[in-house]
Structure 1
Amino acid sequence: MYITRNILLVSFICSDVGGKTLHTWAGIEDGRHLNEEITHLVKTDERFEKIKGNIEKVDVLIIDEVSMISAKVLHQVQVLCKEVRNSSFIFGNIQVILVGDFYQLPPISNQLNGDNGKYCFTLPWFDDYFQHKICLPLIHRQTDVSLIKCINELETGEVSDESVGFINSLNRPIENEEAATQLFAKNLDVDIFNYKKLNTLEGKLKVYKSKDEGSHHYLNKFLAPKNLALKVGCPVMLVKNLSDKLVNGLRGVVTALDTYSVDVKFILHDKDITSNIKTTKFTTFDLVDKTILAKRVQLPLKVAYAITVHKSQGMSLHNVVVNCENCYQAGQVGVAVGRAVSITGLRVLNFKKSLCKSHSIQVKGFYKNINLGHVDANLTCCRKEQLSESNEEYDDTCGDPPVVNPDIDSDYEFFYFCFNENEDAFIEQVQTVRSKEALSNVMKEFIDTPMETIMLSFEEDIRHNYQSFDNWFKNQYSVIEDIGLNCYPEDVHKFSQKHRNDFFQNI
């Protein structure tokens, strides 16, 4: 049996649960509020009365696709639950279950809101609270053994020659390919494909123009397009939560085009539901200055013949064409191929083994330590009272927490044996080895590309003149360090987005 990478991290045994996004359930929106601010709003603002009820009444909180939940978000939800319930226990003594796969795509960072996109398991209190970790071996989406084995290898980044041959065999036409969902790594490729496909659809084209205010830089980052072109019969996807049922990522088909709204037929729980979608407001908020940097009023829809791999995570697709071009993130190809229900409805284009990136040592360290742990009969093992002060004040900007049981290569062990009497010499040797390994990893990006010959020559020059290059790098690092000392306060807990903006502006 091939073991999947799905991980269930539990603090209690659960019962019933209702489904909605974590951000909606907790009322944290796009993360624009500080912990103290969102706590005050939920406790006192009547607009958050429903959110307050969610937190006060819930018995069991199950968070799915937890690999996409950042450390900052999970910590904020934990603090919010504890404060709203006036409890000394982590999460306010709510029973919490996390379900996810850290070999899939990581959280998306949001530097404007001070979220560096770190994995939630890097939180200082994570292992202490989520003591029981269970690997679930049963596959529900696929039944083909070869496909399951291939997906597991793609996710970990350790792909065998057998699986490479298997993936290459999937580059062939499939039945009903015209109606298949296309997956791309980049939004630009998605938009180009959707534009071409929409032009082939018969019917009258209607363009909905947005109303914009503020910075063009941030306006261009909104998922809702400036000009939304639609036809009756074209597939679309919601890009914002509108209700508990109409959520971000839900796909449907346009059935009618009105002057200021669109009728879309969605399939919810195997039932067709037609909803009239009206314009809504999208904003980008500056957490430091408390101002809106950009605002767009537009229909919360995108044409969805093609979607990004990120948007597809969690979906099951019966007909899908995966374009691997630009899939440079670890686990990205595995997530894309893993959306397919069967081989017959899957086509894979532009695959190269060099696209299969290995995950960080943090993820590997996490998977090396999966075990059930000790379970008390009365479940007191899962009830953790107030965090220590250092953990309670956890700041996502303060650097990575220590890696749990990192792999140590034999080369490093050799260096340690030789230089254990001279720590400085040992550190310098290890850094040199890691720098050269990093160079090799960078070079993998250019294999089978037009730049390969040029980059190989560049790599050779660096290796032959490594000391000169290393000295140059250290000089640059020293300059950057000086800028940092001038921009950041000495107390790391006082870092803010303004300090980071000043730093990068000076750079």
Structure 2
Amino acid sequence: MASFNMISLNAQQKRALEFVSGGHNLVLLGPAGTGKSFLVNRVVEICSTMGKQCAVTATTGIACSVYPAQLKPMTIHRWSGIGDGRYDSSEMKRIVKNNVRYKDVMDRIFNTDVLIIDECSMFSKRLLETLHEVCSLKNPQLYFGGIQVILVGDFVQLPPVPCATYNEDGSYCFESDIYRAAFPHHIILKDVIRQKDKLMVEAIREISLGEVSIDTISLIKQLTRPLNGERNKTFCN
């Protein structure tokens, strides 16, 4: 295992990094504030010490903005050339292989050892399967062409966006046979690091699951306050 500072990591985070340094695909899940983005940055550090090229991507541009510019984060749609997803997997693979305008995409695929995809709740079954096909240009015998893939996110957050025009039904990536075969390792981060108020942590957890207790309802009511009249008027105009 690569040598790196593990002092500030909890047991779940350390286990996740063991999978990463071992070259395994990984699904890293956890609610807001559990240190997923922090861990992604540690993954990049590990890849660097191991001489591996790591690509940091996400399903949205906003999620990409969380990461330092020097990591050159970009959407998975841009990284893979999939774009708005109008082409099916076989057609997308053919385009990337034969269209000179996709040379940068081919270079990224062939030069990437580890691919991180953040906000994976919005990563659809169709997109996952198309990504697999495109990456197989690197090595058709291996899942994702042999690229180590790390999915990061929380499946109770935003779901994939359906698009009837491009035959995107909005199925989750975990509904794909490729997901079940290629991602045997799952780590769920449970310790909320960002927020220390236990009542607030539990309230956020319950709301995200849609199972709100009386205590959470009481906490929310305690936070109720009248809005300043002038400000409220401004917001309504």
The TM-score with structure 2 as length reference comes to: 0.66
Q: Does 1:51 align with 2:117?
A: no
More helix by share: 2
Q: Does 1:144 align with 2:144?
A: no
TM-superposed CA distance for 1:174, in Å, is 7.8
Structure 2 match to 1:72: 126
Identity value in percent = 37
Q: Secondary structure at the match of 2:225?
A: coil
Which whole-Å deviations, capped at 9, do the CAs of 1:128-158 have from their partners, x for residues lacking one?
A: 2111111112324322211110011111111
Matches within 5 A, 1:104-503: 104-172=157-225, 197=235
The TM-score with structure 1 as length reference comes to: 0.32
Q: Secondary structure at the match of 1:125?
A: helix
Uncovered stretches (5+) of structure 1, i.e. residues with no partner: 1-7, 179-192, 200-507
Number of residue pairs aligned between Structure 1 and Structure 2:
175
Cα–Cα, structure 1 residues 197 and 154, in superposed 2: closer, same or farther, change >3 Å? closer
* Residue type of the alignment partner of 2:216: S
Structure 1 match to 2:7: none
* Residue type of the alignment partner of 1:69: F
Q: Does 1:38 align with 2:98?
A: no
* Residue type of the alignment partner of 1:145: K
Measured in 1, the distance between the counterparts of 2:199 and 2:134 equals 44
TM-superposed CA distance for 1:12, in Å, is 4.1
More strand by share: 1
Q: Secondary structure at the match of 1:32?
A: coil
* Residue type of the alignment partner of 2:156: Y
Cα–Cα, structure 1 residues 141 and 111, in superposed 2: closer, same or farther, change >3 Å? farther
TM-superposed CA distance for 1:52, in Å, is 0.9
Q: Secondary structure at the match of 2:74?
A: coil
Q: Secondary structure at the match of 2:152?
A: strand
Q: Does 1:25 align with 2:95?
A: no
Q: Secondary structure at the match of 1:150?
A: helix
Measured in 2, the distance between the counterparts of 1:174 and 1:48 equals 52
RMSD, aligned α-carbons: 2.8
Q: Secondary structure at the match of 2:161?
A: coil
Q: Secondary structure at the match of 2:190?
A: coil
TM-superposed CA distance for 1:125, in Å, is 2.7
Higher RCO (Cα < 8 Å, 6 or more apart): 2
Q: Which runs of 4+ in 1 moved over 6 A?
A: none
TM-superposed CA distance for 1:35, in Å, is 1.6
Structure 2 match to 1:446: none
TM-superposed CA distance for 1:64, in Å, is 0.7
Cα–Cα, structure 1 residues 135 and 42, in superposed 2: closer, same or farther, change >3 Å? same
Measured in 1, the distance between the counterparts of 2:134 and 2:226 equals 51
TM-superposed CA distance for 1:49, in Å, is 1.0
TM-superposed CA distance for 1:170, in Å, is 2.1
Uncovered stretches (5+) of structure 2, i.e. residues with no partner: 1-15, 27-42, 49-53, 55-70
